[in-house]
Structure formats: structure tokens, C-alpha cells
Structure 1
Amino acid sequence: MKLVLSQEQRELRAAVRAFLGAASPLPKVREGYDPEVYARLSGELGLSGLIVAEEYGGAGAGFAELAVVLEETGAALLPGPFLATTFAAIALAEVPDKELLTAIAEGRIAATLAQPSIDLIADEVAGESATVTGTLAQVLSGMEADVLVSPALTGDGVIMVAVELAGEGVTRTALETLDLTRGQARVELAGARARVLGPRTEGGVGDRLAVALAAEQLGVMRAALDAIVAYAKVRVTFGRYIGSYQGVKHKLADMHCKLEQAESIVRYAAWAADESPGELPEAAALAQAYVGRACFEVARDHLLLHGGIGYTWEHDAHLFYKRAKTDEVLLGPPRVHRARLAESLGL
């Protein structure tokens, strides 16, 4: 097991960081999803197809590389459906569909994945087609995505389906969400046409989603800590830099310790996803149980240490705070993952 980034991974990190710094700086994040940035992200860097198999036009990279990329998109608070499309690509790896995976790899479509609960019913299943009915209360990037990948219940079991979100029988309603940089939608399907991808498998998709999300959370933590450290070096109060006060120094040290632990956990979980499937369930549960809460705590303290300016709408601190909180509960609150971890350890 190697937890230190390779030379290639460091170069990938540098390339993604430079691109996002130029194409999607924090002031632009407030404007929301920009399809042009997503198209460049896919076309110039090929990130939408990073973990898509080479036979479908992707790079065929592993979770170690994906974690590097998601850390940078998290640090930049990248708006739009990149994480949702990544989730869909992870799920499609278990039920490969050449048309969908090729379109994702080429950046022609954005996709999203329904939450694990089975809220859809598939009728008139015939070969590769079916009609789907049901309501999904919260779909990540549901307004920006072109295709929804979701489990659906049939009389014979659970299948995976793909639904064109612009097709007939689909109603999308944008939700008012805490995170202003990445929306969600209520999706209602009333006999919508769907393509049957295959039976749902227990291939550890949920664990891989947890690893991917933890990587983004690591990026949010790192950017929040960097921002408050930089502020503590220049903000003067009572004739002293605030970073010289013991209370601030100790808080920053605690935040740094959380970041270092989170990085080790994420690197280990990404390694397990690539190299050791047997260790993945525990690693993924640990990643969400620890990193999710730690990310929120670092973002919260980063906002508090900014003082009054951190509470203003104009400052970026609240953007990190809101992304951290929504990420913390995106795949279930930390207590759910702690319970999974305890169960896997026989506690």
C-alpha cells in the first residue's frame, strides 16, 4: 500500500488545479453551473472519462487518480454535475452500457445517479426497454443532468435503468438547497421510457461512492484551512496578527491534524477500491464516518475564525460551510457509516 502520490498523480493534480484556477475561480462559482467549463473539463483534460474503461473511450484510471481529481474539484467548489456524473459512471461500471459510457467519456452528456433506496417501479419490461413510474425526492444535479441512472423494482427483482431526463413522462422541479453551488431536483416519472441496463448487483457501488465523496470532502477541508491560515497571517487586531494568538494557533493546529488524518484515510480508501476489494467496505465506511464530519468541522471553524466578515454574504466562507454540510449528509449522516463500520468490525 502506497499513500504518497506518484509523480504522475502530482502532475495530474497540478494540471487540474491550474485549469480550475483559470476556468472556475471562486468568484465565478457564485454564478453557478457553466456548461462551457464542464465541456472543457471533459475535452481538454478528459476528466469525465477518467474512470471509464478504455474500451468505452475513457482513460481507464483508478480511484487513486479519481481521488486526486475530486480533491481539486472540491477545493475549487466546482459547480455543476461533475460529481453526479462520476457517481453514475461508478454505477455503470457494474452494468456497462457502451452508449452511455462512451457519451460520458466524451463529455457529450452529464448523468446522475439516484440514491440507493428503490423508489421507482419498472413496468412493461421487454428486452432492453421498460416504462418507469415513481418519484425521486432529491436527485443530485437533477436539473443539469441529461440521463438518470437508477434502480427500479420489477416483479422479478431489481434492475438498473437509464432514463432520458428530457423525455416524455419526466417532470423536474428545482429544489431550494443549502449548497448554492450544486443544485438538486425533484424528479417525477410517469410512465417514462427507460433503457434496461441489467440486474442490480452487489458490487460495492455504495462503497465506491463513499470513497469518491470523501475525496471531494478532503479538497474542501484543504481549501478552507489554506484560506483561514492565509487570513490569520494578515489580519491584525489589537496590534497583533490574529495568528499569533494562542487560541487561534491551537484551533488551526487541530484543523491541520484533522486534515492529515483525513488525507491518510482517503488515500487508503482509494487504494482499497483499486487493489483490495476485501478491505473496501471498512475503508469506505471509515472514510465517511470520519472525513464527512471532519470536513464540516474544519469548514465551520474556518468560518468562525474569520470573525464578522466570515458571516457576510460577500465572503466565500459560507460557500465552503454549505458544501461541507451538504456533502456530510449526501450519502447518509455520519452515524449511518459509523454503524456500518461497527458492524463490519463485529462491534
Structure 2
Amino acid sequence: MKLVLSQEQRELREAVRAFLNATSPLPKAREGYDPQVYARLNGELGLSGLIVPEEYGGAGAGLSELAVALEETGAALLPGPFLATAFAAIALTTPAPVSAAVPVSVSDKELMTGIAEGRVAATLDRTEVTHDGTGVSGRLAQVLSGMDADVLVVPARTGDGVRLAAVELSGPGVTRTALETLDLTRGQAEVVLDHAPARLLGPLSETGVGERLCVALAAEQLGVMRAALDAIVAYAKIRVAFGRYIGSYQGVKHKLADMHGKLEQAESIVRYAAWAADESPAELPEAAALAQAYVGRACFEVCRDHLLLYGGIGYTWEHDAHLFYKRAKADEVLLGPPRIHRARLARLLEL
């Protein structure tokens, strides 16, 4: 088990952090998705191609490296389809069972190359649609970054079973409707497919994809909670109430210590889950379930207490505290509420 970042991973973290500080500081998150920032993120750092194999133009890195990048984009509350594209890349690169193995198609190669080069912003929805030979049809209630992505990756039932399909979201037969969401920094959309043209890709792996999605989301949540805690600790050192810095009050110190303890546990869980995804697949199901069962709730609790400790200013629209609170709550339920993951963990442990 490896819970400490390597030198290369630390350098990746510093590079992503410096880039986001310069191009997407926190106040910019309110402005929403900026395609120019996304293009630079991929053109200069190649983040969207981190886990794409090298033969398709990616870095061929593991989920541990992707987790490092997602932690930093989470801390910056980066708007746009980066997490959605990471989800799509995970689905495309997770190997299917040997019994269902088929050669990588031209469509797979084109899509993965486009993602790796930053030309394609993709999103993934795991709601099954129907492929009738001419196109795909179905209704997808909540597609992450559905208004910003170029391509939708979705499981489609064909006469030969279930395969992944790629649908151009700006193409015919596709109706997108922006949804009013809690998280102001990253939207969702309802997508209705009516015989929309689709490129059939490889088979969907029945194991591994969901677990890897859980780990990726937990990495973002780790970054959100770390940034929230750093912000309130800094505020507690300068805010004076009744002639004393609020950080000197016992009630505040204890709350900050509790928040720090949650962060430390979350970091260990995320590092372990990312390591398991790369090095020990047999341990991944339990590690991924634990990641969402614990980290999702811990992230929300830290962001909630971070808002409360600001006092009255934390409730104002102009302050950034509510942005962390809303991202944390949206992420907590993105892959299902924590109770679902706790139940799955209990089953895996035969409790």
C-alpha cells in the first residue's frame, strides 16, 4: 500500500496548482465554464489525457496521477467538464472482461485521441439507452456538464448486448435542456436522444468502472475540503472578536481540529483507493465503497462547518463559502448518497 505521493506526483500537483492559481482563481469560478482555460489546461498540462494510453496521445498514467489532478481542480472549484471528461476516459480505458474482449475500434481510437489532445470534452452517463441499428434513443435525466461537453458516452443495448456508444451532443436527434442545479460552478442537463446517430465503441466493463468513478470523485472531494479548511484556518488567524482572534477560542479550535482530523482520514482513504485501482484490483471494490461512504459526507461536513465558522459573512452571496458548500453537497450525491455506498461496503465485508 502506498499513501505518500511520489516525487513525480508532487511535481504534478505543484504544476496544476500553479496553473489554476494563475488562470482560474476562485473568484473566476462564479463566471462558469471558460473554454479557453480548459483548452490551456489540456494543451499545456495534458490533464484530460492523463489516463489515456500513450498510443492514443495520452500520458498512460494511472488513477493515482488523475487523483492528484482532480484534487487540485476540486480545490479551485474549477468549472466546466473536466470531471465529466475524466469519467468518460475512465469508462473508455477500463478493460472489459476477457470473454467480452473485442479489438479497439476506430471510433474508440478517435475519441480517446480527441480527449487526450484536449479537442473533445466528453461526459459519461450510465443510464442505458437503446440502439436500433440507426441510432440511439432514451432519456437521460441528469448529465454532468451536459451543456458544455461535445460528446456523450453512454451504454447502449444492441442486439449483441450492451456496448458503449458515443453521441455528438450538437448533432441531430439530441435535445439538451439546462437544469437549475445547486452547484453554480458546474451544471447538468437533461438529454433526450431520439434516434441520434452514434458510434459504437467497445463493450462496457461490468466491473471496475463504477469503483474508479468513486475514487475519482473522492479525489475531487478531498481537494474541496482541503481548500475549505485552509480558508477558514487563515480567517481564524485574522478575525478579531471581543478583542481576541477567533482562532484562540476553545470552541473554534476544537471545531478546526475535528475538521483537520476528517481531512487526514479522507486523504488516507483516497490515496489507498487510488493505489488499489492501479496496483491491487482485488482490493478496489471495498476501497472505492469506503471512499464514497466516508469522503463524500466528510467533505460536506467540513464545508458546512467552514461556512458556519465565518459567522454572518459566510451567509452572504458575495462570500465564497457557499460555493464550497454547494459543490460539496452536489458531489456528495453525484454517484448516489453515502448510504448506498455504506450498504455496498457492508455487503462486500459480509456484515
TM-score with structure 1 length normalisation?
0.97
Q: Is the 8 A contact 2:290 2:345 kept in 1?
A: yes
Q: What is the identity, as a one-letter code, of the residue corresponding to 1:117?
A: T
SS in structure 2 of the partner of residue 186 of structure 1 = strand
Unaligned ranges ≥5, structure 1: 125-129
Which residue in the other structure is 1:56 paired with? 56
Query: 1:115-169: CA deviations, max 9, x gaps?
Result: x332x11101xxxxx4111110100000000000001223443221110101100
Q: How does 1:62-211 map to 2 (within 5 A)?
A: 62-94=62-94, 97-114=108-125, 116-118=126-128, 120-124=129-133, 130-211=134-215
Which residue in the other structure is 2:9 paired with? 9
Which residue in the other structure is 1:345 paired with? 349
Tell me how far 1:70 sits from its aligned partner. Answer: 0.4
- Aligned-residue sequence identity (percent) comes to 82
Structure 1's consecutive aligned runs of 4 or more residues displaced over 6 angstroms after TM superposition are none
TM-score with structure 2 length normalisation?
0.95
Tell me, in whole angstroms, the C-alpha distance in 1 between the residues paired with 2:195 and 2:71. 39
Q: Choose which of 220, 223, 227 in structure 2 pairs with 1:219.
A: 223
Which residue in the other structure is 2:100 paired with? none
Instruction: Compare 5-14 and 287-296 and name the one that shifted more.
Output: 5-14
Tell me, in whole angstroms, the C-alpha distance in 2 between the residues paired with 1:117 and 1:195. 17
Tell me, in whole angstroms, the C-alpha distance in 2 between the residues paired with 1:94 and 1:76. 27
Tell me, in whole angstroms, the C-alpha distance in 1 between the residues paired with 2:201 and 2:158. 13
Q: Is the 8 A contact 2:290 2:341 kept in 1?
A: yes
Kindly indicate whether residue 256 of structure 2 is the aligned counterpart of residue 252 of structure 1: yes
Tell me, in whole angstroms, the C-alpha distance in 1 between the residues paired with 2:127 and 2:111. 22
Q: Choose which of 246, 249, 260 in structure 2 pairs with 1:242.
A: 246
Tell me how far 1:346 sits from its aligned partner. Answer: 0.6
Instruction: Compare 51-60 and 196-205 and name the one that shifted more.
Output: 196-205
Query: 1:164-206: CA deviations, max 9, x gaps?
Result: 1011000101111000000000001111010111322223100
Q: What is the identity, as a one-letter code, of the residue corresponding to 1:109?
A: V
Tell me, in whole angstroms, the C-alpha distance in 2 between the residues paired with 1:197 and 1:215. 28
Q: Is the 8 A contact 2:228 2:324 kept in 1?
A: yes
Across the aligned residues of Structure 1 and Structure 2, the Cα RMSD in angstroms comes to: 0.9
Kindly indicate whether residue 46 of structure 2 is the aligned counterpart of residue 37 of structure 1: no
Q: How does 1:313-324 map to 2 (within 5 A)?
A: 313-324=317-328
Q: What is the identity, as a one-letter code, of the residue corresponding to 1:108?
A: R
SS in structure 1 of the partner of residue 317 of structure 2 = coil
Q: Is the 8 A contact 2:306 2:321 kept in 1?
A: yes
Unaligned ranges ≥5, structure 2: 96-103
Which residue in the other structure is 1:296 paired with? 300
